[in-house]
Amino acid sequence: MRRSVLSLLAIALASPAFAQAYPSKPITLIVPFAAGGPTDLMARIVGERMGKELGQQFIIDNVTGAAGTIAMGKLARSAPDGYTIGIGHLGTNVVNGLIYKKLNYDLLDDLVPIARLPSNPLLVVTSNQVPAKDLKELVAYLKANADKISGGTAGMGSGSHIGVMAFHAATGTNYQLVPYRGTGPAVQDLIANQIQIMIDQSSNSLPHVRAGKLKVYAVTAKERPAAAPDVPTTAEAGYPGIEVAIWHGLWAPKGTPPEIIAKLNAAAVAALKDPEIRRKLEDLGQDIPTPEQMQPAAFDAYQRGEFDKWRPIIEKANVKVE
C-alpha cells in the first residue's frame, strides 16, 4: 500500500505540469540551529530574497538539537515535493556524517544539493572579562585556568566545535565545552561571561566585537577578511594550522524533481547576485560563491571532496558519537 502511494506520488511529482506550477504555496526552510545564530541569519537573508524571486514566502522552521542531526533527519524524511528544503553547513552535512555513528539517514544518499551558499571563517573570541591582550597571552591564560574556563559550541560536529577541535590541537589547550542549541544563544552567554571563549563564525560574533561586547584575538583564515582587516590570522598570531571556513548550502530530500531543484537553484543564484544581499553578507565576513560553484553538480562534487578532506582529520582526532 505504502509503496503504491509512494509510486503515485513520484509519478505526480515527475509530471511537467507539477514542476511548472511550482511553487504554488509557501516553502518551509528547515534550519538546524537556534534562531538568532549564523545559520538562521543566512536562512533569513537568502530565504527572504529567494521567496521574492519565486513569488512565495519561505517559512523558517528551526529544528534544533544534536548539532543539526535531528533537522537533517527530518529533512531526509520530508516529502520530496520542493515544499520542504533545508539549510546546513560543513558541520551538519559533512562532519556529522563522519562522527555520528548511528544516523538514520545518509547525508549523501538521502539528500540532494540545491546550491552552495557563502562561507565564513571563525573568530577566536572571549568575554571582555578575560584579561589576555593577544592570542599567545590567551593560550597561556587558558592553560593556567583550565579548570575555570568554559567554551561554548553548538554541539559535537557543529562549526564552532570543528573550530574548537582545531584550536585545541594547535594550541595544546583543553578547556571544558558547554553545548548549546546554536551559537546565537551561546554568544549571549559569552557576552554575559557565563562562558569565557568561543571559536565562532564571524557572521555571529563580528557585530558584537564591533559593538565592544566581545574581545577578538584571531581569525581562522589564510588572509585577513576585508570585513575585519585589523584582526590577525591565527598564523600571524602565532598558531598556524587553524584554518577553517564554515560554508553553507541548501539541500532537498532525495526524489525532489530536477526541474524543481533547478528553480530553487536559480532563485538562490539570483539572491546572491543582489548587491544589497552581497553587501549584508560580506559585511559579516562571508565569501560568496560564484554562480558556477553554486550549481547542484558542482556543489555535490565539492561536498564529496569535503568528506574526503575531513575523514582522515576526524579519524586522527578520534571523535565519535556512538
Of the candidates 94, 95, 76, which has an alpha carbon nearest to the alpha carbon of residue 86?
76
Report d(CA 118, CA 272) in Å as an integer: 9
How many residues sit in the footprint of ligand MLT (CB under 6 A)?
15
Report d(CA 78, CA 260) in Å as an integer: 15
Minimum CB separation of residue 281 from ligand MLT in Å reads 14
Q: How many helices (H) and strands (E) does the chain have?
A: 14, 9
Task: Print the binding letters for residues 178-217 with ligand MLT: x by CB under 6 A, - otherwise.
Answer: ----xxx---------------------------------
Give residues 145-184 in contact with ligand MLT (rule: CB under 6 A).
154, 158-160, 182-184
Report d(CA 314, CA 275) in Å as an integer: 38
Closest to ligand MLT by CB, 158 vs 286, is 158
Closest to ligand MLT by CB, 111 vs 154, is 154
Where in the chain does DSSP place strands (E)? 27-31, 58-62, 84-89, 111-127, 150-153, 176-179, 197-201, 214-219, 245-253
Task: Return phi, psi of residue 182, to 5°.
Answer: 165, 160
Minimum CB separation of residue 6 from ligand MLT in Å reads 33
Name the DSSP letter for residue 95.
I
Closest to ligand MLT by CB, 69 vs 158, is 158
23 binds ligand MLT (CB under 6 A): no
Task: Print the binding letters for residues 31-50 with ligand MLT: x by CB under 6 A, - otherwise.
Answer: --xx--xxxx----------
Give residues 231-250 in contact with ligand MLT (rule: CB under 6 A).
none
Q: What is the largest CA-CA distance in the chain?
A: 66
Minimum CB separation of residue 58 from ligand MLT in Å reads 17
Confirm if 257 and 13 have CB atoms less than 8 A apart.
yes
Closest to ligand MLT by CB, 81 vs 200, is 200
Closest to ligand MLT by CB, 203 vs 256, is 203
Minimum CB separation of residue 33 from ligand MLT in Å reads 3
Helix/strand/coil (H/E/C) assignment for every residue in 151-193: EEECCCCCHHHHHHHHHHHHHCCCCEEEECCCHHHHHHHHHCC
3-state secondary structure of 6: helix
Minimum CB separation of residue 45 from ligand MLT in Å reads 13
What single string gives the DSSP state of each residue in 42-73?
A: HHHHHHHHHHHHHTSPEEEEE--SGGGHHHHH
Minimum CB separation of residue 67 from ligand MLT in Å reads 7
Of the candidates 62, 57, 91, 89, which has an alpha carbon nearest to the alpha carbon of residue 74?
62
Closest to ligand MLT by CB, 48 vs 259, is 48
91 binds ligand MLT (CB under 6 A): yes
Closest to ligand MLT by CB, 154 vs 271, is 154
Closest to ligand MLT by CB, 31 vs 267, is 31
Minimum CB separation of residue 306 from ligand MLT in Å reads 15
125 binds ligand MLT (CB under 6 A): no
Closest to ligand MLT by CB, 87 vs 260, is 87
Which residues contact ligand MLT (rule: CB under 6 A)? 33-34, 37-40, 89, 91, 154, 158-160, 182-184
